[in-house]
Amino acid sequence: MGLNLDEKKAVVAEVSAQVANAQTIVVAEYSGIEVGDLTKLRAQARKSGVFLRVLKNTLVRRAVADSAFAGLADQMSGPLIYGISVDPVAAAKVLNDFAKTNDKLVLKAGCFAGKVLDKAGVQALASIPSRDELLSRLLGIMQAPVTGFACALAALAKQREEAVA
């Protein structure tokens, strides 16, 4: 059963709100995926902060028409699932990781920073570490000199104690 005009407007408004804050959109074909697998994918997307929905392509085209994602409209055909995220790599990572374990989900395209990506581009984007992972690496690098200095001071103090005793 189709959506009436008010429902269509509501979907376009909801997707437009997501797109307004998004940095990345990834689309994938999902034909033949079992309901249980799709539920797992949705749970993973929710955990990663990714807006994931199966939507009518015409409604999404309207939602992205006046945005940086307008170039993606040419890729919107067939049965698609849309992943939209504020985190630049989250949507690509969630859909790419799921596609590795389920061959019925096929990455089709994506858009990041106003540039349309093909399947290989989405996979490359997914391979980039997430923001949290990069921040934790940076913190580790920043702590390394301090930790080394503290260890050196502790060793020096220990040597001094041994020399005095």
Average pLDDT over residues 120-140: 83
Per DSSP, what are the bridge partners of residue 26? 83, 110
Question: Could you tell me which of 78, 105, 76, 74 has the C-alpha nearest to residue 92?
Answer: 105
Per-residue buried b or exposed e for 65-101, using 16+ beta carbons within 10 Å of the residue's own CB: eebbbeebbebbeeebbbbbbebbbbbbbbbbebbee
Distance CA 108, CA 118 (A): 7
Kindly tell me if the per-residue pLDDT of 165 is higher than 70.
no
CA distance 156 to 72: 62
The residue-averaged pLDDT of 46-65 equals 89
pLDDT class for 1, splitting at 50, 70, 90? low
For the four alpha carbons of 68, 70, 76 and 80, in that order, the dihedral sign comes to positive
Averaged pLDDT, 105-130 = 87
Q: Which of 5-14, 91-100, 135-144 has the lowest mean pLDDT?
A: 135-144
At residue 129, the pLDDT reads 80
pLDDT tens for residues 131-164? 778 788 888 888 888 787 788 888 888 887 887 7
Q: How far apart are CA 124 and CA 88, in angstroms?
A: 12
> 159 or 99: whose pLDDT is higher?
99
**Is the pLDDT confidence value at 27 over 90?**
yes
**DSSP letter assigned to residue 116:** E
End-to-end CA distance of the chain: 88
pLDDT number for residue 136: 85
Backbone φ and ψ for 115, nearest 5 degrees, come out as -110, 130
Beta bridge partners of residue 109, listed in sequence order: 27
Strands 80-85 and 115-117: unpaired
